[in-house]
Structure 1
Amino acid sequence: MPWLEAMSSAADNSPKPKRFCAFFFGNGVALSKPDHPTADWNWFPRTDGPDYQFTKSLDPLAPHKQDLTIFGQLSHPTSRHLIGHNTGDVWLSGADIRLNLNNSISLDQLIARKFGKETRIPSLVLSSNGGAGMKSRATTISFDAQGRAIPAESNPRRIFERLFERPSDEDLATRRRALASGRRRVDFLLDDARSLRNRLGRPDQQRLDEFLDSLNEVENRLTRAQMWLGRAAPSVDRESINLDVSQSGPADYIRTMMDLIVLAFETDTTRVAAYQIGSEDGHGICDKFPAILGFGKGHHGLSHSNPSKESGWGEYDRFLAEQFGYFVKRLSSIHEGGTSLLDRTLALYGSGTSSTHNARNYPLILAGGKDLGLRHGRYLTQPAERPLGDLFVTMLHRLDIPVKRFADNAGEFSEIIA
């Protein structure tokens, strides 16, 4: 259920949920020099610190200035010499994919391993294209413990039904039988594979271990599904969200996807979400969003244009910032005891390239988390490229996940800790 004032006395003695979500768009942002006619459309502010001014690309976020931090000169060290279009795969993982494109676990899935057991859905994995795509051009930003792409969901109606639809008694009985059958098959495979392992050479043992890890994940999912199957799903009014949307209307579609995340957080159906708004390199229907909106070209085409001659790129950056501002406003308007959902949520927004193919100086914004010990209201840029992992580790610590290393971090990001 959503937060009710009647719950306050009981909730005083129990910790309120902490949450994480990430929003990614490919192809970087429009950048221009201070003396160019389009300087006002540069994505990054021109001065750092607390007195920075939003440029036209980001000024839809101005009402939320005290709830967010803009970062400059952050990137993953092993990705800086990659073709920029590869970086969508590793935006949340920081993996070194230069030799074989093998990824590692993404930030959202690491967090889901801690929080997932507390909720009906361990994490929401969403994208405008859906599916997993291919290595180096994934249509998802979520990767499991073995570095495999987790297919993203893109149909709002199906997402809503998965989160909130109550199965009939007949469907419930069918699901129970299917889950029980699945458990039996997984148990058989696990026993069979373990008995085989000692008769194999080392390379085959390593491959079998990867297979066993996958089976263990399946078994855990089946166990969770059985545990939650008999519990009442949260009651949500279908009329409160517009499910009659498609990618042919980008503004309504993106906002519905964000509304689904808000509803899932508000009802504590999940505490982790990742949404790839747009993929890299012109892949999928999301590349057409700027053209549909009247900004001239597809997103990949805009990223190769000259901002001093074609302002459509900056205008699309502004459109995306408007959507993120909408999400931040939604979270800040929902109260949870003496705080808001935004204050208990870390919301990361950005891209894995700065401009066109440049995999440095990622455009990044972190919003929320004031109740988790963060302070905002500044544009923080670095004198030289700094590992994005420093920010990731700081976020993980705010979420009570005591890692020492992640994504080639060199330390923590103490500048945002209150």
Structure 2
Amino acid sequence: MLEKFFQLSKNKTNVRTEVIAGITTFMTMAYILAVNPDILSATGMDKGAIFTATALSAAVGTLVMALWAKLPFALAPGMGLNAFFAFGVCIGMGMSWQFALTAVFLEGILFILMTIFNIREVVINAIPNSIKNAISVGIGLFIAFIGMKNSGIIVANDATFVHLGDMKSAGVLLALFGISLTGILLALKVRGALLIGMIVTTVVGIPVGITQLPSFDFSVPSISSIAWKFDWEWVKTGEGIFTMITVLFTFLFVDMFDTVGTLIGVSTKANMLNEDGRIPNVKQALMADSVGTTIGAALGTSTVTTYVESAAGVAEGGRTGLTSLTTAILFILALFLSPLFLMIPAAATAPALVLVGVMMMSPIQKLDLDDYTESIPAFFTLIMMPLTFSIAEGIVFGMLAYVVLKLFTGKYKDLSIVTIILAILFAMKFVFM
């Protein structure tokens, strides 16, 4: 049955290879089960409920990818997008987590419609490549910044805004140990380096009093406190509507770049592109993250996206949906191990945040630093994200800088109508907010 459904022989693979690939993918991205609750709980949401929502949304999105698109890609709530949810929308803008969940839900609905009518590519093409690459780099810096902040490596300071934390404190030393260990494992190309580093750091934290042992109640945490908790009060005021549009736009575009970039990159690595250079079943693959995001918001978590860690499973030989089906099953099984994931302290999740930030830096190699109409907007995009603690502000500054520089240097032919419209909308943000 598996052979016929996934066409294993046609894809030059077998059940054993696909299952091992699926386990490898899970091992490389299972850190999200600890990191996502850690990040989103900063908004006041229940950590246990977030864990359950994270595992369920990852399983649902990955199952759609496995059974419909039949591709070896896994999905889960995205890094960077969860940071924008918690620290950008809720803490930075002062909005409720219910408001943020509503934005994610609307994003999922829009993505479904955009995928059905094949208009995602039109919007994606309106964003300059330099800005797209800079967004990835900026999110990487932002995530690393959050990891260092949460672990106490950097702290607030009135005189210099940020300052080095207490390097003698147990939490900071534990985080630095975790970063060093995980970095070594990554350099040695150990599969599941992020998860292994997190587990070892957590265990080391027990005798020093940083890791608190759980009650070992293996019942699945209820999501009743966060599921279907949408906020529609914003529709009553013009300011509320404009805020929702701004937040929704950011979720929409960051997720779009994340998913499309991952699909193209991993498919290329796996030699899965067809003779026209296109991804097989790409519409179904895009629909997987659309459905995952919509259901994820209803369950109570941030935007679901395709994970670049899927490349680990592909490197192990994964070529079909059986790989992602294996990963989805493991996410379901993880539901019954919540105490083990929730006991992981911030000092142990920090290494994953910092080093995922490193991984997201690679697109900087694609920037043309000699063309200032390209490099300056890219620089504003990536630097403003950590400095303003906002992914949205980075995109706004980058797009505005791009349009202004192109217009006033005679390179207006590089601008599309859609790009100009987007810049106008961003400029209006400063006027009306």
Answer whether TM exceeds 0.5 for this pair.
no
TM range, normalised to the smaller chain?
Answer: under 0.3
Please, what TM-score do these two structures have when normalized by structure 2?
0.26
Greater helix share, structure number: 2
